[in-house]
Structures are given as structure tokens and as C-alpha cells.
Amino acid sequence: MTSGSILKKICIFAAPCILGRVLQNLNNLVDSVIAGQALDMNALAAVGATGSIIGLFTDTIIGLMSGFSIIAGRRCGSGDHAGLRKVFANSLIISAGAGLFVSLFGALLARGMLSLMKTPADIIDGATVYLTIIFMGMWTTVFYNFLCEMLRAIGNSRTPLIFLIISSAVHFLLLLVLLFVFDLGIVGAALSTIISQAGAALMCALYIKKKVPEFRILPGDMKPDREVLGECLRIGIPMATTNFVVMFGVIILGFVTNRIGTDYVAAYSTASKTGYIITTPIFGFATAASVFVSQNLGAGRLDRIKEGVRKVLLLITAINAVLFTVMLFAARPLMSLMIDGGSVAVDAGVLYLRVRCTAMFILTLAAVFKPVLAALGRPLFPTISGFIEVAVRYIVPLTLTPLLGFAAVPLTDAIIWLILAVFLTGAYIFEFNRLTRSHAASNA
């Protein structure tokens, strides 16, 4: 990505990322649709009540892996193949430890976390079963995301998508069989997720072993390297912390929603999954921008970084305009498909989607500049933004919910995105100008 047409390279890289995110979110969405058809409202709400907790750990893992990929991307951009192998080997060691810890910690404390969130008594037993099984297999999520991020760091975003498509097909088939043939209910929904994720991780591992010489580890590479470990953790930990803090804020929203009632738990869990799919292009191009920036920073191409970020923002804005128009008319049919058309949950879900789609133009700035700043070697700003988000997610819903009810939930997102857009845009301008001056001085 350090030469040739900027927009073409970014779009080619971003397309599989976007499709991959869509498929991952569709997995969650199909879970809701099938659970809504095969199970009752309480079972649907039980699965939905676990979403924010699963997201907390999954997004923290993804943040850590994203930090590793930034370091790998720099090595790739600078042509340092020996250094790239060391980054892969040392980040693999960290990932193995993280996967084991998360699986054990989550499985043991699943019910306790649901209790802290004030999960309604009529769904907490089912939610505990589902969450425990998901955590027992969380190590598969860790390895899959690690391997995907490493492939993307060297510019290969297509292969993870292919494996994800296969994995999604397996997931859908298992879901139907386990729910409708074997009548396993919530247990079946959880098992289908874990088995399909393990298959995706295995396919990625076999592909890297056979087809990616950049990651063929030599005997000395697996020895922990203090310098490489430190570099990976210096970027990885702030990125993981940022995602953890952000998702903790989402848990606060889940806590607020749980207090409103079961119908609103179902509405929020279902509509938020749909909302994630709608905003997928934003985060797909943000991922592409991060890799683009890290590789071009390694190659010393600041001119390409500036132009690439500008073009990404313009392209996402155009895509958002199209999606916004579509969702104005499609929100109610989508919610009616996933939830009983006459329920209060449908109206709440429609409100959530319409507010989210209106605010996604603001989200674009925050979503792009956060990983770009990390790729520039400045993860402190994204971390600060995460703490800002938690504060706002705590203050706004608890203040507005007594006045506005469920409407306070989507409004919280809109307010947060506005604040972060202003903060991160300013941080990017400041850091890029600083980097430009430093680069010019070193070449003088």
C-alpha cells in the first residue's frame, strides 16, 4: 500500500474487511432472528442480554490484536522481514496467554457479571448458560482475530474473508440443526458460534503455515524478545484499553436498558446488531486506513498518509448518505421481521436505528481518526477518547432516561460521537503537523 493509486489500494483492502464485518454481524443478527422464531421472547432477551459482556471481551481482544498489526504493518512497510517474523512470534505468545485468561475468567464469572448488570430475573438463567459456553470457547476468537490481523498487516484482507464466509455457512447450518432438529435452544445457539469460530481459526492457521513465508517462524523467533514484546505492548495495551473502556460504556447502556424492561432489552440487542451492520463501511474503511497509515509511516510516505485519510473520509460520507436514505424506509420492516410486529420492542428498535443512522455521519470522523492516531504511534489520544466515552455513557443515559425513556439510549450514542469527533479530529491535525515538522527536520 506504499505505492500506486491510493483510493484503489484502500478500496481493494477495505472491501473484504467490510464484507467480513457484515458477515460477523450477520451471524449475531441471524442468531436473533432464528432464536426469535424458534424460542420465546425470554430466550431472545437472554441471548441479547449477554451481547455487551461478550462485546467487552471480544473488542478488548481485537484492540490488542490491532496494536500488534500496527507494529507488523510498519515492519512490512519498511521491508524488515526478520523483524516481521519476530513481531508475529512474540505477539502470538501474548495472544495465547490472553486467550487462556479470558476463557477461564469469563466462564467462572459469567453469572456474576450478569448479576452486576441487573439482568432481569426471568432471563438470567438462560443468559448464564449461553455466556458460559461462549466464554469457554473464547480462545478460538482470540486466535482467529490474531491471525486475521496479522494477514491484514501485510496487506492480505481477502483470505480472512474467504475463511469467514465458510465459517458463517457452517454457523448457519449448525444453528438450524441444533435448534430445530435437536431442540437444544440457547445451548445450540452458543455451540454453533464456538464451533464455527474454531473452524475459521484452524483454516487461517493452516493457510499461514503453507502460504505465508513472512510468518514462517525460525527456531530463534519463538524466544521472547524484550524489545519486540515491549513495542507490541506499547501499542497493543492502549488499543485494548481503549476498546475495553468503550465497551464498558456500552455495558452501562445495557444496564440502563435492563432497568427499563424485557421488551427494551430485546429491542436494544436486536436493533444494535442491525446498527452495527449499517455502520460496517465506516469501520471497514477505518481498518483499511489504519493499515495504510502504518505501512506508509514505515516507508516514510507522509504525503500518501494525508491524501489517503482525506479520500477515506470523503468516500465514507458518500456511502453513509446512501445507507441513511435506505434505512429511513427499511427500519420498521427489519424490526418487524426480527421481533413480533405488534410489540413495543419494534417501535423502540425503529427509533434506535433512525437516530443511529442520522448520527453516523459524525461517527465517521471518530471511527477513522481513532485507529489512524494509533497507527501514527499516538495511542494515548484514542485511550483518552475511551475514558471520555465512558463518562458520557454514564452521565447522559442516567440523566435523560427518567425524562425520555428508551430514547435516551440512541441519543447517548449521538452525543458521544459528536464529542469524540471534535476531540479526535483536533488530535489528528495536531499530531500530523507535528510529525510533518519532525520528518522535515530529520531530512534537513
Mean pLDDT of 255-265: 68
The values of phi and psi at residue 366, to 5°, are -65, -40
**Residue 383 and residue 364: Cα distance in Å, rounded?**
18
How many CB atoms lie under 10 A from the CB of residue 224? 11
Q: Is residue 147 within 8 Å of 201, Cβ to Cβ?
A: yes
Angle at 33 between CA 37 and CA 45, to 5 degrees: 85
pLDDT computed for residue 51 by the predictor: 77
The values of phi and psi at residue 121, to 5°, are -60, -30
Greater confidence, 347 or 134? 134
Taking Cα atoms as reference points, which of 134, 109, 169 lies closest to residue 51?
134
Question: Residue 271 has which C-alpha cell?
Answer: 436493533
**Residue 374 and residue 65: Cα distance in Å, rounded?**
12
Q: Name the strand (E) or helix (H) holding 10.
A: helix 6-38
**Residue 160 and residue 130: Cα distance in Å, rounded?**
26
User: Is the pLDDT score of 126 beyond 90?
Assistant: no
User: Which of 48-52, 235-239, 312-316 has the least mean pLDDT?
Assistant: 48-52
Q: What single-letter DSSP state applies at residue 224?
A: -
| Amino acid sitting at position 283 | F
Q: Is residue 291 within 8 Å of 74, Cβ to Cβ?
A: no
pLDDT computed for residue 62 by the predictor: 85
pLDDT cut 70: percent of the chain above it:
90
pLDDT computed for residue 198 by the predictor: 92
Residue spans of the domains in the chain: they are: 6-439
Local confidence band at 418 (pLDDT 50, 70, 90 cut-offs): very high
pLDDT computed for residue 135 by the predictor: 94
Torsion angle of C-alpha atoms 7, 437, 366, 361, degrees rounded to 10:
-50
Mean pLDDT of 418-444: 86
pLDDT computed for residue 30 by the predictor: 66
Alpha-carbon Rg for the chain, nearest whole angstrom, is 21
H runs (alpha helix) in 279-339: 280-298, 302-338
**Residue 334 and residue 346: Cα distance in Å, rounded?**
9
Local confidence band at 382 (pLDDT 50, 70, 90 cut-offs): confident
Greater confidence, 113 or 397? 113
Task: Identify the three-state secondary structure at position 204.
Answer: helix
**Residue 329 and residue 2: Cα distance in Å, rounded?**
41
How many residues are given for the chain?
444
**Residue 283 and residue 103: Cα distance in Å, rounded?**
26
pLDDT computed for residue 376 by the predictor: 87
User: Is the pLDDT score of 156 beyond 80?
Assistant: yes
Question: Residue 250 has which C-alpha cell?
Answer: 456500552
Rounded to whole angstroms, what are the CA distances from 98 to 139, 140, 409? 8, 11, 32
| 171-182 pLDDT, tens digit each | 888 888 888 888
**What contacts 139, CB < 8 A, 6 or more positions away?**
99, 100, 102, 103
Mean pLDDT of 347-364: 87
Burial class of residue 437, CB neighbours in 10 A (0-12, 13-18, 19+): exposed
User: Is the pLDDT score of 342 beyond 60?
Assistant: no
| 18-71 pLDDT, tens digit each | 887 777 766 666 666 666 666 666 776 777 778 778 888 888 888 888 888 888
Q: Specify the pTM.
A: 0.77
pLDDT computed for residue 244 by the predictor: 83
pLDDT computed for residue 420 by the predictor: 92
Mean pLDDT of 267-286: 80
